[in-house]
Amino acid sequence: MAGLSLHTRRQPSIEPVALAWLVRMRWGAVLGEALVVLVAQLWWRVDLPWLPLSFWIGLVALSNALLATRLRRADREGGLDAWAGGMILLDTAILTIMLYLSGGPTNPFSALYLVEITLAAVILEPLWIWTIVSASIAGYGSLFWRHRALGALSMHAFHADHSQGQGVHAHLYGMLLAFATAALLIACFVTSLAQALRMREAELRSAEARALRSERLASLTTLAAGAAHELSTPLGSIALVAKELERRCLRDEDASARSDARLIREEVQRCRTILDRMALQAGEALGENLEARELGELVHEFHESLAPASRERVDLYLESPRALASVPPRALGQVLENLVHNALDASASQQHVELHAHTQADVLHFRIRDYGQGMDNATLLRATEPFFTTKGPGKGMGLGLFLAASTVESLGGQLDIESSRTHGTEVRIALPRWPKEAEA
């Protein structure tokens, strides 16, 4: 279950690079088809209806220009699957029409159906793949009933004169059966292979991301520990001197100076607390012992730790509050604090943030939901990078989501982010209720 995934409602499942290759291949197909018509007409002296064929080749070129234009807007708008699937389906239909005009099933270029099927199997989702397989088989099969004959190579002639055309007739219908079988086998094999490669690539990307996050987390831990060590001595000295000043001012009855000395001591204590929190955020809590706690107790304890102004804007939705889970309370509280503060910052001053918590089987689920402006695709993809923030100067270091994701992953869980400009952002956390460490 470990991992991190990001989602938006507009995120395409097909890679733009695949669509770019499709555009290049379709330009190649346009040139190839035009060349074949020209050679057949001028060199082989085949009586082809070149004007209708030129029209359909031109339509492929026009649609490809439109597809290339759409590709340039892919990063901003997404939604590439329908375009790629629609273009391959259009190519299948145009191929059927061109074969109809040039000999039907006797035309050797009917094998190009398999190219369309292979392209679909490599870059499209299963629904599109089987739609194109069905369209190819139906298109090729329809040519046996109606097409424009070229010379003696006519299915109508074969039907009329069985004595001369029976062997070729049987051969062509055998081609139809062989084509349907090959189309199904190619679609199944290439689809399975493409999906396996995508899964493998996704696993590699996930492993690389985990290794990079671990390396960055180790760097932050070292930085926090070093800062705490280097600053502890001067902060202790300042606190001691401030305490002495406060005592002297108490004897001299100087209320203003005494108040300033007390403020210095309080601010020093605040600095120490911040350093402790840095160490906690940067990974010290990952070694925290697991404790069996009730879900309701964990959530209410975290809710009470919030500042009053923030607490009033966080709405709790608890299911099965008495359910037990084995978790590191401080680490989990820090994760929820980071996510809730991000949600509050992303919302308008009067908007509320929702915190949902429930258990399902052996999984602990949390959902933090805000109704702010959401994130675009570019921001969402970088949301968990360390030191990446869209907040103004002095309002955040860009570590909240990174540390939350790292902590959840280290606990064997998964963090998902879904965001859009119109519906705000929802962060979902799934944690094992009884991790292996607890069983041991």
Q: Is the pLDDT of residue 153 over 50?
A: no
Q: Is the pLDDT of residue 1 over 60?
A: no
**Do 218 and 315 belong together in one domain?**
no
Convert the pLDDT of each residue in 296-324 to its tens digit. Answer: 999 999 999 888 888 999 999 999 889 99
Distance, in Å, from the CA atom of 4 to the CA atom of 202, rounded to the nearest integer, reads 11
Q: What is residue 336's predicted lDDT score, i.e. its pLDDT?
A: 92
Q: Which two tokens stand for residue 386?
A: 């360390």
* CB-based contact 5:414 (threshold 8 Å): yes
SS3 47: coil
**Do 302 and 274 belong together in one domain?**
no
Burial class (CB in 10 A: 0-12, 13-18, 19+), 374: buried
382 HSE (CA, 13 A, CB side): 9
Q: Is the pLDDT of residue 105 over 80?
A: yes
* Backbone φ and ψ of 171, nearest 5°: -60, -40
DSSP 8-state symbol, 363: E
Residue 109 lies in a domain: yes
Distance, in Å, from the CA atom of 421 to the CA atom of 371, rounded to the nearest integer, reads 10
Convert the pLDDT of each residue in 324-357 to its tens digit. Answer: 999 888 888 888 988 999 999 888 878 999 999 9
Residue 197 lies in a domain: no
**Do 385 and 414 belong together in one domain?**
yes
Q: Which of 225, 260, 285 is the last residue of a domain?
A: 285
* Backbone φ and ψ of 12, nearest 5°: -75, 150
**Do 134 and 243 belong together in one domain?**
no
Residue 105 lies in a domain: yes
Count of the separate structural domains present in the chain = 3
Residue 179 lies in a domain: no
Q: Which of 160-169, 176-185, 199-208, 223-232 has the lowest mean pLDDT?
A: 160-169
User: Can you give the CATH number for the domain in which 364 is found?
Assistant: 3.30.565.10
Q: At what angle do helices 126-142 and 81-101 cross, to 10 degrees?
A: 10
Convert the pLDDT of each residue in 192-239 to its tens digit. Answer: 777 777 788 888 887 887 777 667 666 766 666 666 667 777 877 887
**Do 272 and 361 belong together in one domain?**
no
Residue 241 lies in a domain: yes
The band of 277, judged by pLDDT with boundaries at 50, 70 and 90, is low
**Do 320 and 371 belong together in one domain?**
yes
Question: What DSSP assignment string belongs to 273-285?
Answer: HHHHHHHHHTTGG
Q: Which two tokens stand for residue 215?
A: 């390396």
Q: Which of 238, 255, 285 is the last residue of a domain?
A: 285
**Do 342 and 314 belong together in one domain?**
yes
**Do 24 and 142 belong together in one domain?**
yes
Distance, in Å, from the CA atom of 380 to the CA atom of 390, rounded to the nearest integer, reads 11
Q: Which two tokens stand for residue 401?
A: 């989501």
Count of CB atoms within 10 A of residue 24's CB?
Answer: 12
Q: Is the pLDDT of residue 6 over 70?
A: no
Per the model's pLDDT, the better-predicted residue between 225 and 165 turns out to be 225
| Mean pLDDT score, 60-74 | 87
Distance, in Å, from the CA atom of 417 to the CA atom of 7, rounded to the nearest integer, reads 6
Per the listing, tokens 């870059």 go with 123
Residue 277 lies in a domain: yes
**Segment (H or E) for 345:** helix 329-346
The band of 274, judged by pLDDT with boundaries at 50, 70 and 90, is low
Q: Which of 7-16, 116-125, 133-142, 241-250 has the lowest mean pLDDT?
A: 7-16
Q: Which two tokens stand for residue 219?
A: 């760097």
Residue 204 lies in a domain: no
**Do 374 and 305 belong together in one domain?**
yes
Q: What is residue 357's predicted lDDT score, i.e. its pLDDT?
A: 95
| Mean pLDDT score, 255-278 | 76
Q: At what angle do helices 81-101 and 16-42 cross, to 10 degrees?
A: 10
The band of 93, judged by pLDDT with boundaries at 50, 70 and 90, is very high
Q: How many helices (H) and strands (E) does the chain have?
A: 15, 8
* CB-based contact 138:116 (threshold 8 Å): no
**Do 21 and 156 belong together in one domain?**
yes
Q: Which two tokens stand for residue 334?
A: 């820090």
Q: Is the pLDDT of residue 12 over 70?
A: no
What residues make up the domain containing 148?
12-160
- pTM (global) more than 0.75: no
Q: Which of 285, 302, 327 is the last residue of a domain?
A: 285
Q: What is residue 157's predicted lDDT score, i.e. its pLDDT?
A: 47
Residue 206 lies in a domain: no
Q: Which two tokens stand for residue 59?
A: 């339509």
**Do 293 and 435 belong together in one domain?**
yes
The band of 427, judged by pLDDT with boundaries at 50, 70 and 90, is very high
Contacts of 190 (CB under 8 A, 6+ apart): 118, 121, 122
**Do 17 and 140 belong together in one domain?**
yes
Cα R_g (the chain), whole angstroms: 33
Contacts of 257 (CB under 8 A, 6+ apart): 245, 249
Q: What is residue 423's predicted lDDT score, i.e. its pLDDT?
A: 84
Q: Is the pLDDT of residue 168 over 70?
A: no
